[in-house]
Structure 1
Amino acid sequence: MTDTLLKILIADDEPLAAERLQMLLARLEGVNLVGTAHDGESAVRMAEALQPDLVLLDIAMPGLDGIEVARALSRQAQSPAVVFVTAFDQFAVAAFDVAAIDYLMKPVDADRLGRSIERARAYLDSRAQQPPPTAAPDTSPWLEEFWASDLSGLVRISACDIDRVTAERDYMRLHVGKRSWLIHHSMTALEEGLSPELFVRLHRSAIVRRDFIAGFSRNSSGRWIARLADGNEQPVGRLYADQVRAIAGR
């Protein structure tokens, strides 16, 4: 793959957006645009016929949307790499759930597209060097990572690195050291998705990593307070007092 042309298929229902991608690709070396699809169904058909290495895929399209197209492509014998190109940032988590290589926001920057192309090339090279799997590996039932937006684009956050989660209306804030990111999730879904061996819910609006808890104390009204490793304190909700006793072995 390193020494060959990277075959690319564009799938975008907006003619101007597709034309911009075509112009940007024309400036890059080592790529070959093999076709342009303008809806989800034609994107799947063209991918089957043309066997592209990479699909630059819009999400909001008539018929099959980009997420559905990516799922269909993943079932092909030699599935192409997928980079989403969209005007909407709220689909980031769903995009990486279908193993997208990257997620570009419109209007696409030339340098950013170039980095995505190289990322796809590296992914395809790595995949080509891997031996075929002999058996399906065991998969964890728990959430292992999150993707959140920041000023540079998207950042991957490993679940085991999260110190605590706090609720902010319809969003959850993931705290990692001195930094934090907002994701669109519910506290209940996170409680069900995070491993109970690693995390414990202490309040209706707070989940804390177990080894981030330094100790417990009571306030003047007798309510439990969790002392955290960073020096902060987290009140324990009355409904979650049993969690304190379970952690302390009482």
Structure 2
Amino acid sequence: MLRVLAVDDEKPLLEELLYLLRSDPRVRSAEGASDATEALRRITRALESGPDGPDGIDVVFLDIHMAGLTGLDIARLLAGFARPPLIVFVTAHEGFAVQAFDLKAVDYVLKPVRPERLAEAVRRACAQSGRTTEPPAPGGPAAPPTGAGPVPGAMAPVPVPRRALAEVSAGAGADRAPDQIAVELGGVTRFVAIADIAYVEAQGDYARLHTDEGSHLVRIPLATLEERWAARGFVRIHRRHLVALGRIDELRLDAGTTTVRVGSAELQVSRRHTRELRDLLMRQAMG
């Protein structure tokens, strides 16, 4: 079974790639690196450990366009070692395929990554590495193997009618109904009740929805959700956070810093939003 390092400087895409890799029964472990420096540090440790050492890496799933060194630069550096890990490029750009295969890449996977296409890349890596494999479940990656630990935000897939999927892919709005929002996880679309969302965290052009059961990533800017959900009691407390007013358990003021507790999370309130939030909480307390 494969020991994998996935490298991508876009955190939401890295998390999705790791989820898919960890769901494949042929992958023993999958760790992530969010930049070239961290990736090289991990790979150097693996090379020093040896192919069968505790820090060994069999294959690197590598983005091409990253800040600093590119994925191609990393692959060129690894080519100088006697027994480097295998390389699978995962990129949104088609134009580097020739260079990638000149560098002896195992595969070249285009984004957005489809589970069945990634499963084929894993198969090729297994074949070249000589590691023992288990057959994947029909239709793509299977559930995470026992003992692999929970995947953040992972929930049981819920079948979605074909019509609903078509509406989502056609961009017919993020909400399936006024009380739900469509989310994707591992290529499966499901619907989350907005009432179950405690707070939302900005992650670039994406937003992470936090519920009591886990979290879900959607490609919607936080400002859009702020406008869309204002009438549902969601308030902006920081440039990074949108909170459901009714889910705030505690408001704290300590040495000029204001924070709120939402379940087990403690979130900072920016100065520009502090007064408005206190007024809203006071009105809510007064009925």
Band of TM-score, shorter chain = 0.3 to 0.5
TM-score of the pair, normalised by structure 1: 0.47
TM-score of the pair, normalised by structure 2: 0.41
| Greater relative contact order (CA < 8 Å, ≥ 6 in sequence) | 2
